[in-house]
């Protein structure tokens, strides 16, 4: 009888559910009910434990609540990253992964690589955080098989994804106005406009302006003498704007077209040596690029992504001094790039995926230096990739082939170059009911000599060989959700070894410095990360994240030299950071601390070359007010809470305690 009753009840329920899906009226009340929209929010785990390589992410929410001021400040919170900051708001800021050099690190902006063929390193300080949705760092081989061949060829990728337009209810437009102000004359207003142009088309426009005098006070220590000085020649002014069109075709294809413009005029404060803080250097930068990305999934097996980009960069350098013939020295540089990329993904089986990526790049350089050869470089990059995934294992393999052809209008040209670089990654999950993974990685990479390395007046060397590197990584990752007091808890530990040969360095010759392949470096280290979310009370939660880095990077170039087995310049043995956010209905509180151990600014590890370590604290308070259809958020930040005096680069003192206020109005 019980079985019969159960069967009868189930049979009665099944048709009722089917009818409920088909009719549009409430059969009881005889009318249609409008269900209120429910928004579910959750914090993203900052470390991807299932990845075969170390991957770290930082969301827009993390950036805002921690009071992070600029892109360099955000990136240096990732494990395994070295950020060089040449002081102040307008100083150059570059990123290097595990001491391999900034030229080995690729920067991707909305999926398309950012380039600088002249210097080989990207100044990440020129990118604004205002419209960033996700910031991520992949060390080694990324798992995205649809990425371009250029990104496959790098030792790691810093990926910047901007926020796409999204609308509430039936709205077709959205606006945001933001004003920031702070210490040292800092003012930065910005506006954003999102617009629906149809059912499948959206437009995003962001414009920002920033200025600061940057003349912050600092303490100068020279032996037993300590004086209070002030930075000068530090004023910076910049404009930035971008517009992006997002369109989805009827067949499911997606097209993004972006136009970007940046202009800055910066005074360069220079290094402070022997009580001489005076500098008359200035730098003007202009950068424009337009890029398009198209993605189409033709079937369950075939997917295509195509990219195109034109990039124009111009800069002018000026210095005044009696050592110059007419009292002024000037340099003007212009570089242009034309870039095409296509990636085809094929998935013959559910567990097996292949992709083939092909990039073509043309780079040109023009400058005002004597005997400029006006070079043009053509580069072809091909990447064949495969991934096999089961319930307990993921394995990927890649083969990247790079070929270059160099042309000059005058003088000798370097030999053409071609090279094949493999990589392999494996991730294993021994127990299906436990989020515990073991991962292994090997990746062969190299970086081509830049135009400055090859052609810069007197210093350039056209016989340079590419700088080669081999990356090895072994790691363990673990995570768990809803465990004891935690909403989630995740940990990663990775040990690595990097072998760099033919390192390109400036080497002294009889009369001038010359670029040369003179270097062999071994870097051994450990990166450890932790993140956790803890509910404290009703509507109150604590989010904690942190990382620790131990790195031994030594010079093995000359066994008889004074720097043999010495720690590389600007490489701390210990560094790390901790961040905490208390989320609640009243005032969100963010606190972070960044610590860096002692370093050496020259190759010889002697006390005279030592730079003291430092610890920097940041505190932020924020709250958002909901006013019907409008939202107003206010945030206050106190940076370098303890007024720590430190240098990231020797003789370039960083600011002490500073403050910033931000008001954001959304409507």
Query: DSSP letter string over 237-253?
Result: EEEEEEEEEEEE-TTS-
Q: b vs e for 48-80, b when ≥16 Cβ sit within 10 Å of the residue's Cβ?
A: bbebbbbbbbbbbebbbbbbbbbbbbbbbbbbb
- Give 645-666 as a 3 state SS string: CCEEECCEECCCCEEEEEEEEE
Other beta carbons less than 10 A from residue 605's beta carbon: 18
Whether the CA torsion 650, 572, 497, 49 is positive or negative: it is negative
H or E element at residue 51: none
pLDDT computed for residue 511 by the predictor? 55
Q: Taking a C-beta distance cutoff of 8 angstroms, is the pair 404, 415 a contact?
A: no
Question: Among candidates 93, 73, 82, which has minimal Cα distance to 652?
Answer: 93
pLDDT computed for residue 424 by the predictor? 96
Q: How far apart are CA 576 and CA 548, in angstroms?
A: 4
- Alpha-carbon distance values, 401 to 24, 383, 512 (Å): 58, 6, 36
pLDDT computed for residue 508 by the predictor? 65
Beta strands (DSSP E) in 429-568 are 435-447, 467-483, 486-501, 504-508, 513-517, 520-537, 540-555
Q: b vs e for 624-642, b when ≥16 Cβ sit within 10 Å of the residue's Cβ?
A: eeeeeeeeebebbbbbbee
Q: How far apart are CA 288 and CA 241, in angstroms?
A: 10
Q: Taking a C-beta distance cutoff of 8 angstroms, is the pair 655, 641 a contact?
A: no
Compute the radius of gyration of the chain from its Cα atoms: 27
Q: How far apart are CA 619 and CA 638, in angstroms?
A: 5
- Alpha-carbon distance values, 390 to 346, 352, 539 (Å): 17, 9, 39
Beta pairing partners, 529: 492, 547
Q: How far apart are CA 138 and CA 111, in angstroms?
A: 13
Terminal-to-terminal C-alpha distance of the chain: 63
- Indicate the burial class of 24 (C-beta count within 10 angstroms; 0-12, 13-18, 19 or more): exposed
Beta pairing partners, 151: none
Q: b vs e for 262-285, b when ≥16 Cβ sit within 10 Å of the residue's Cβ?
A: bbbbbbbbbbbeeeebebebbbeb
Q: Taking a C-beta distance cutoff of 8 angstroms, is the pair 212, 220 a contact?
A: no
Stretches in the chain below the pLDDT threshold 70:
1-47, 87-88, 90-91, 222-223, 273-277, 507-512
Chain segment 608-664, per-residue pLDDT in tens = 899 999 999 999 999 999 887 789 999 999 999 999 988 888 888 888 899 999 999
Q: b vs e for 569-601, b when ≥16 Cβ sit within 10 Å of the residue's Cβ?
A: bbbbeebbbbbbbbbeeeebbbbbbbbbbebbe
Q: How far apart are CA 66 and CA 393, in angstroms?
A: 36
Whether the CA torsion 137, 142, 143, 148 is positive or negative: it is positive
pLDDT computed for residue 468 by the predictor? 93
Q: Taking a C-beta distance cutoff of 8 angstroms, is the pair 436, 430 a contact?
A: yes
Q: How far apart are CA 534 and CA 578, in angstroms?
A: 16
pLDDT computed for residue 87 by the predictor? 60
Q: How far apart are CA 478 and CA 437, in angstroms?
A: 6
The helix/strand/coil state of 665 is strand
Half-sphere exposure of 504 (CA within 13 A, CB side): 26
Question: Among candidates 441, 359, 429, 437, which has minimal Cα distance to 397?
Answer: 441
CATH superfamily name and code, 55-165+172-666: TonB-dependent receptor, beta-barrel domain (2.40.170.20)
Q: How far apart are CA 443 and CA 140, in angstroms?
A: 7
Q: How far is CA 260 from the centre of its chain?
A: 17
Q: How far apart are CA 72 and CA 124, in angstroms?
A: 6
pLDDT computed for residue 295 by the predictor? 97
Q: How far apart are CA 284 and CA 269, in angstroms?
A: 14
Q: How far apart are CA 142 and CA 548, in angstroms?
A: 22
Other beta carbons less than 10 A from residue 482's beta carbon: 8
Kindly write down the DSSP assignment for every residue of 332-383, as one continuous string: EEEEEEEEEEEEEEEEEETTEEEEEEEEEEEEEEEESSTT----EEEEEEEE
- Indicate the burial class of 405 (C-beta count within 10 angstroms; 0-12, 13-18, 19 or more): middle
Virtual torsion, Cα 52, 475, 161, 444, nearest 10 deg: -70
């Amino acid at each position: 009888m019980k079985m019969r009753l159960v069967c009868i009840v189930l049979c009665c329920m099944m048709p009722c559910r089917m009818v409920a899906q088909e009719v549009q009226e409430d059969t009881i009340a005889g009318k249609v009910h409008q269900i209120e929209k429910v928004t579910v929010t959750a914090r993203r785990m900052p470390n991807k434990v299932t990845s075969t390589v170390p991957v770290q992410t930082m969301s827009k929410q993390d950036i805002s609540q921690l009071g992070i001021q600029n892109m360099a400040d955000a990136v240096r919170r990732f494990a395994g990253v070295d950020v060089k900051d040449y002081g102040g708001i307008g100083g150059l800021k570059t990123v290097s992964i595990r001491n391999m050099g900034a030229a080995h690190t690729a920067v991707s902006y909305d999926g398309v690589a950012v380039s600088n063929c002249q210097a080989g390193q990207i100044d990440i300080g020129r990118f604004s955080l205002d419209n960033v949705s996700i910031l991520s760092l992949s060390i080694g081989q990324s798992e995205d098989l649809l990425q371009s061949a250029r990104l496959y060829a790098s030792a790691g990728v810093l990926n910047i994804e901007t926020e796409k337009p999204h609308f509430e209810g039936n709205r077709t437009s959205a606006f945001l106005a933001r004003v920031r102000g702070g210490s040292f004359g800092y003012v930065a207003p910005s506006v954003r406009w999102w617009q629906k142009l149809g059912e499948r088309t959206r437009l995003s426009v962001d414009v920002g302006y920033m200025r600061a005098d940057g003349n912050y006070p600092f303490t100068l220590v020279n032996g037993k003498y300590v004086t209070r000085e002030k930075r000068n020649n530090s004023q910076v002014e910049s404009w930035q704007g971008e517009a992006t069109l997002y369109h989805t075709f009827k067949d499911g294809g997606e097209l993004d077209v972006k136009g970007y413009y940046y202009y800055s005029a910066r005074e360069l404060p220079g290094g402070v040596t022997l009580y001489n803080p005076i500098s008359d250097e200035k730098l003007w930068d202009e950068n424009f690029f337009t890029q398009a990305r198209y993605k189409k999934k033709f079937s369950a097996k075939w997917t295509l992504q195509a990219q195109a980009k034109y990039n124009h960069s111009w800069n002018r350098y000026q210095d005044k001094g009696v050592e110059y013939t007419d009292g002024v020295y000037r340099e003007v540089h212009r570089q242009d790039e034309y870039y095409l990329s296509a990636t085809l993904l094929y998935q013959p089986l559910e567990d097996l995926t292949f992709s083939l990526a092909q990039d073509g790049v043309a780079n040109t350089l023009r400058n005002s230096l004597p005997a400029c050869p006006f070079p043009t470089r053509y580069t072809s990059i091909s990447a064949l990739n495969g991934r096999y995934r089961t319930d307990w294992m993921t394995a990927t393999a890649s083969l990247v082939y790079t070929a270059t052809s160099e042309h000059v209008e005058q003088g000798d040209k370097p030999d053409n170059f071609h090279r094949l670089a493999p990589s392999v990654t494996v991730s294993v999950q021994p127990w299906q009911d436990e989020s515990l993974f073991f991962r292994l990685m090997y990746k062969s990479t190299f970086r081509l000599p830049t135009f400055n390395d090859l052609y810069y007046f007197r210093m350039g060397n056209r016989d340079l060989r590419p700088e080669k590197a081999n990356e090895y990584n072994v790691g363990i990752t673990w995570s768990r959700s809803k465990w004891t007091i935690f909403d989630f808890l995740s940990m990663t530990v990775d040990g690595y070894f990097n072998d760099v040969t033919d390192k390109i360095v400036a080497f002294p010759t009889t009369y001038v410095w010359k670029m040369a392949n003179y270097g062999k470096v071994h870097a051994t280290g450990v990166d450890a990360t932790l993140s956790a979310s803890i509910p404290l009370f009703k509507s109150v939660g604590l989010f904690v994240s942190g990382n620790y880095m131990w790195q031994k990077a030594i010079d093995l170039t000359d066994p008889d030299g004074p720097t043999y087995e010495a720690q590389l310049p600007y490489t701390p043995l210990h560094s790390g950071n901790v961040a905490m956010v208390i989320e609640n209905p009243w005032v969100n509180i963010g606190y972070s601390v960044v610590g860096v151990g002692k370093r050496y600014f020259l190759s010889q590890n002697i006390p005279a070359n030592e730079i003291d370590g430092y610890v920097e604290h940041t505190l932020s308070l924020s709250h958002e007010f909901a006013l019907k259809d409008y939202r107003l958020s206010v945030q206050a930040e106190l940076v370098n809470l303890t007024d720590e005096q430190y240098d990231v680069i020797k003789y370039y003192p960083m600011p002490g305690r500073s403050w910033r206020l931000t008001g954001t109005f959304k409507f």
